[in-house]
Amino acid sequence: MARSHHRKAHKQRLKDYKHVHEDLAHVRQKTGTTFVFTLLGIVLGGTVGYIATGGALLWIAAGIVVMGFAGYLLGKRVEKA
């Protein structure tokens, strides 16, 4: 049977890690959620526009613009929450 109450205590560096992690919680990430959602919207809009129209550049560009803007708005909403 296991005897966990006999094991050694955790190392001090592991105890300190929790405090370091809390101190770094305020640091902002370099790539924001808005950028990622905008990029995904652009890729999705271009892909759907290409598949739906068979390669018509006007509609691909329209899909990129519309879905990029939708991704931007969604990213802003996610960052706010």
Q: Which residue has the higher pLDDT, 29 or 73?
A: 73
3-state secondary structure the chain: CCCHHHCCCCCHHHHHHHHHHHHCCCCCCCCCHHHHHHHHHHHHHHHHHHHHHCCCHHHHHHHHHHHHHHHHHHHHHHHHC
- Which of residues 8 and 70 earns the better pLDDT score? 70
Please list the helix, strand and coil fractions of the chain in percent, rounded to the nearest 5, in that order: 75, 0, 25
| Contact present, 52 and 59 (Cβ < 8 Å) | yes
Mean pLDDT value of segment 34-61: 94
pLDDT value for 12:
63
Give residue 19's pLDDT.
62
Evaluate if pTM is beyond 0.85. no
Q: Is the pLDDT of residue 54 over 80?
A: yes
